[in-house]
């Protein structure tokens, strides 16, 4: 991603608009994808590049385990469990059908091995063992999954188990799966590296990673496959080329090859026709604005969050930006107060409107400062 864009700075007095983004059309339309629902999103900017039925509620099958892993990672990060914790395998975990890492009832297995068995081998038994260790039961763990889904804004998702085995009340969407996947990659990069592992051996049984993208695309490093008769063949993929990462979600394809081809087609199209640019990092000043009646005359302002633009390839030179502030700035002003927007345009089209905030406190000035500024404002 290129360096920050230089701002053009006409300070317009406007009413604030909500954060918005528009993606200009690339030279080539998105590929046709044979799936019930799909989505392609730029990880750095969060901009959706292609989608179809992305909000339709569908069965996730083993894609459920992305949320299972995310919940466990959060428990580790909070210090409530550890990678070296030994988990006693219950009969319920041992008897769980479908794909397995072949843990044995009554034995103890480390949290790290269970995570790798779930992530790399897609072990349903490992998922149950982890859920029971974290929450005491799979039902209680599902409550944790749903609480995290709500926190992440997964509005069309409901979990009932940690492994994705069929249940009429288990559903999610391509868009929601992208949300939890991007949160997992962003918050737990070290753990995410396991998703690129080609194989894992446990109990003297070596099983390959089920993700076909790892063999077909050297830039791919995740994420997860899923399949049941009702869900069809599903795949959440992610690949990184240079500084650009894309996440693809394909749900309800007709065959293993169809989901792989669809995922590769989306990823290759995204990398071929789009580029991502980091324009302004969060909490870094991009301008100093005049403040009235304060202990200081200027206020450094910058973006609340990283401002990243995803645009058609070859159009970077057409980007421009400006600041729009809501009104004159009068002290006192608290750090973090939203005082306007950063507006990025591509040609004549506005593509990003991001919050502009105060980067430090400006206390109210004394009587002399107030009197002086009153006179200056009159002229």
Work out the percent of the chain whose per-residue pLDDT is above 70: 92
Locate all alpha helices (DSSP H) within the chain, ordered by sequence. Answer: 64-77, 91-95, 111-119, 124-135, 138-151, 174-187, 189-192, 213-216, 256-273, 367-378
Tell me how far apart the alpha carbons of residues 138 and 117 are, in angstroms, rounded to a whole number. Answer: 17
Residue 144 is predicted with a pLDDT of 98
Over residues 342-375, the pLDDT tens digits come to 999 999 999 999 999 999 999 987 887 767 767 7
pLDDT of residue 105: 97
Q: How would you classify the pairing of strands 307-312 and 319-325?
A: unpaired
Coil/strand/helix, residue 85? coil
Residue list, annotated binding site for substrate? 224
Per-residue b/e over 258-274, b at no fewer than 16 CB within 10 Å?
A: bbbbbbbbbbbbbbebb
User: Average pLDDT, stretch 272-285?
Assistant: 95
Question: Looking at residues 67-92, what average pLDDT do you find?
Answer: 98
Structural contact between residues 4 and 280, judged by C-beta atoms closer than 8 angstroms: yes
Backbone angles phi, psi at 371, to 5 degrees: -65, -45
Provide the pLDDT for residue 25.
63
CATH code of the domain occupying 12-23+279-378: 2.60.410.10
Confidence of residue 7 (pLDDT cuts 50, 70, 90): low
Residue 17 has pLDDT above 50, yes or no: no
Residue 109 φ/ψ, nearest 5 degrees: -130, 140
pLDDT of residue 366: 81
Using DSSP, state whether 236 is helix, strand or coil. Answer: strand
Question: With 70 as the cut, is the pLDDT of residue 294 above it?
Answer: yes
Distance CA 185, CA 73 (A): 11
| Binding site listing | 224
Q: With 80 as the cut, is the pLDDT of residue 27 above it?
A: no
Which range among 20-34, 253-267, 280-294 has the greatest average pLDDT? 253-267
Say what the pLDDT of residue 280 is: 96
Band of pLDDT at residue 24, cut at 50, 70 and 90: low
Confidence of residue 6 (pLDDT cuts 50, 70, 90): low
- Give the global pTM: 0.90
For residue 241, pLDDT beyond 50: yes
pLDDT of residue 76 exceeding 80, the answer is yes
Q: How far is CA 134 from CA 32, 91, 111, 142, 261, in A?
A: 41, 17, 10, 11, 36
pLDDT of residue 9: 38
Q: Mean pLDDT, to the nearest integer, of 33-60?
A: 97
Residues with Cβ within 8 Å of residue 345, at least 6 apart in sequence: 319, 320, 321, 322, 351
Structure tokens that stand for 299 in this block: 């206020």
**Could you state, in order of their start, the residue ranges of all structural domains in the chain?**
12-23+279-378, 37-253
What is the average per-residue pLDDT within 238-251?
Answer: 97
Q: Taking 50 as the threshold, does the pLDDT of residue 12 lie above it? A: no
Rounded to whole angstroms, the Cα distance separating 379 from 377 reads 5
Mean pLDDT along residues 145-158: 98
- Mean pLDDT confidence for 296-320: 95
Is the distance from CB of 135 to CB of 87 less than 8 angstroms? no
Domain 37-253 matching CATH 2.60.40.10: the answer reads no
* Average predicted confidence (pLDDT) for the chain: 92
Confidence of residue 5 (pLDDT cuts 50, 70, 90): low
In the structure, what pLDDT confidence band is assigned to residue 14 with cuts at 50, 70 and 90?
Answer: very low
Considering only residues 225 and 23, tell me which one the structure prediction assigns the higher pLDDT: 225
For 229-257, what is the mean pLDDT? Answer: 97
Cis peptide before 223 (omega within 30 of 0): yes
Residue 358 burial (CB count, 10 A): 21
| Token pair in block for residue 313 | 């390839």
pLDDT greater than 50 at residue 70: yes
CB 38 within 8 Å of CB 246: no
Name the residues annotated as catalytic: 62, 65, 122
Report whether pLDDT(3) > 50. Answer: no
pLDDT exceeds cutoff 50 at 209: yes
């Amino acid at each position: 991603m290129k360096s920050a864009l230089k701002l053009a700075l006409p300070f317009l007095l406007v009413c604030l608009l909500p954060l918005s983004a528009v993606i200009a059309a690339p030279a080539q339309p998105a590929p046709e994808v044979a799936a019930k629902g799909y989505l392609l999103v730029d990880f750095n900017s969060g901009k959706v590049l292609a989608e179809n039925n992305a909000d339709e509620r569908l069965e996730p099958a083993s894609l459920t385990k992305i949320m299972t892993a995310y919940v466990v990672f959060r428990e580790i990060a909070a210090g409530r469990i550890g990678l070296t914790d030994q988990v006693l395998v219950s009969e319920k975990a041992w008897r769980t059908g479908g794909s397995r890492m072949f843990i044995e009832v009554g034995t103890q297995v480390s949290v790290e091995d269970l995570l790798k068995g779930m992530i790399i081998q897609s072990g349903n038994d490992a998922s149950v063992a982890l859920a029971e260790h974290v929450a005491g039961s799979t039902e209680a763990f599902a409550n944790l999954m749903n609480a995290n889904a709500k926190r992440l804004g997964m509005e069309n998702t409901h979990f009932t188990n940690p492994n994705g085995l069929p249940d009429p009340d288990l559903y999610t969407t391509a868009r929601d799966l992208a949300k939890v996947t991007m949160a997992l990659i962003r918050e737990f990069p070290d753990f995410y590296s396991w998703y690129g592992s080609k194989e894992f051996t446990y109990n003297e049984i070596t099983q390959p990673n089920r993700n076909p993208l790892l063999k077909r695309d050297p830039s791919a490093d995740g994420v997860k496959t899923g399949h049941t008769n009702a869900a069809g063949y599903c795949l959440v993929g992610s690949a990184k080329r240079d500084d650009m990462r894309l996440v693809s979600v394909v749900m309800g394809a007709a065959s293993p090859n169809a989901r792989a081809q669809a995922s590769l087609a989306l990823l290759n199209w995204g990398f071929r026709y789009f580029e991502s640019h980091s324009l302004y990092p969060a909490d870094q000043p991009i301008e100093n604005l005049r403040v009235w009646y304060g202990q200081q005359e200027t206020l450094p302002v910058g973006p609340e969050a990283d401002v990243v633009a995803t645009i058609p390839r070859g159009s970077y030179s057409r980007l421009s930006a400006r600041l729009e502030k809501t009104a004159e700035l009068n002290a006192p002003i608290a750090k973090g107060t939203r005082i306007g927007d950063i507006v990025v345009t591509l040609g004549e089209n506005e593509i990003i409107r991001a919050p502009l905030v105060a980067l430090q406190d400006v206390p109210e000035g004394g009587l002399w400062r107030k009197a002086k500024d009153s006179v200056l404002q009159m002229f």
